[in-house]
Amino acid sequence: FSMQLGILGVVPINDGTHDLKPKPGGNLPFDFHGSGGIDLIVAKAGMPVSSLLNGFDLEICKASFDGNKFHIPDPHLTFAGKTKMESNRRAVVGSYVTHHREPENRYSMSAIELSKLVSTTIRAVRRDVPNAPFYRLLDVAAALPDRYNPRARPWDMGGSMYDAVVQAKWAPPIQFHNWCSKLIDRLRKYQQRGIEVVDAPTIADNFRTYQFSIMAHEMM
């Protein structure tokens, strides 16, 4: 992934549901008169499809059709409505729900305060799961100088949250938190659909975590 605004915890303005249509005279091989929808995955040019499929958190999501044949991972589980979760993600999520404590009023906290808060959780996760391959941006951020100036005005590029170096320093912990929150939401979504995740981490029914946005908190 490249360091884009969405990666940095900033909600992009074009994020959402889009109406996909074929070119004039064309056709898409889906029944749009039925219920439900399709997930469109957009990759950079040259990215092999196998790399995209291997990046899914749940094995059942790796089922695919290449135009000639279907590829079904763990068919004995998939056709039974069951799936496994990728082991590193499972371990990280299990540790995250153990250590994370949602702030009482996240809206009153600055972006820096939120970043420090989730960094405490992340340090505990890294102690539990030290070898997971998801910490590179966190390590890069830790090595950057801290240019944040709490007295900087929003229009001052140097030292404010609009400073790219400040974002690169403080955003990765929030990005990691948002990623964990998304994994938890996806896990629950598939479980609510009746899919049994056979090795799912234990998550209490009343556990809640919300995604944070750096710029939204900074502009409050």
Q: pLDDT tens across 42-57, in order?
A: 778 888 888 888 888 9
With bands split at pLDDT 50, 70 and 90, how would you rate the model's confidence at 162?
confident
Residue 125 has φ and ψ, to the nearest 5°, of -60, -40
Given pLDDT bands bounded at 50, 70 and 90, which one contains residue 35? Answer: low
Q: What is the pLDDT of residues 180-217, one digit of tens each?
A: 999 999 999 999 999 999 989 999 989 988 888 876 54
Q: What confidence category does residue 219 fall into, taking pLDDT thresholds of 50, 70 and 90? A: very low
Angle, alpha carbons 55-61-66 (nearest 5°): 90
Q: Specify the pLDDT at position 217.
A: 47
Cα–Cα distance measured from residue 177 to residue 172, given in angstroms and rounded to the nearest whole number = 8
Bridge partners of residue 85, in order along the sequence: 58
Tokens encoding 162: 């609009």
Distance CA 98, CA 176 (A): 16
Average model confidence (pLDDT) across the chain = 82
Give 220's pLDDT tier (boundaries 50, 70, 90).
very low
| Phi, psi for 8 (deg, rounded to 5) | -85, 10
Local structure of residue 71 (DSSP, 8 states): E
pLDDT surpasses 80 at 28: no
User: Which tokens hold the place of 147?
Assistant: 């240019």
- How many angstroms separate the CA atoms of 150 and 147, rounded? 10
Taking alpha carbons only, the member of 220, 212, 208 closest to residue 8 is 212
Do residues 54 and 26 lie in contact, with contact meaning Cβ atoms separated by under 8 Å?
no
pLDDT tier at 84, thresholds 50, 70, 90: very high
How far apart are the C-alpha atoms of 190 and 10, rounded to whole Å? Answer: 26
Q: What percent of the chain has pLDDT over 90?
A: 44
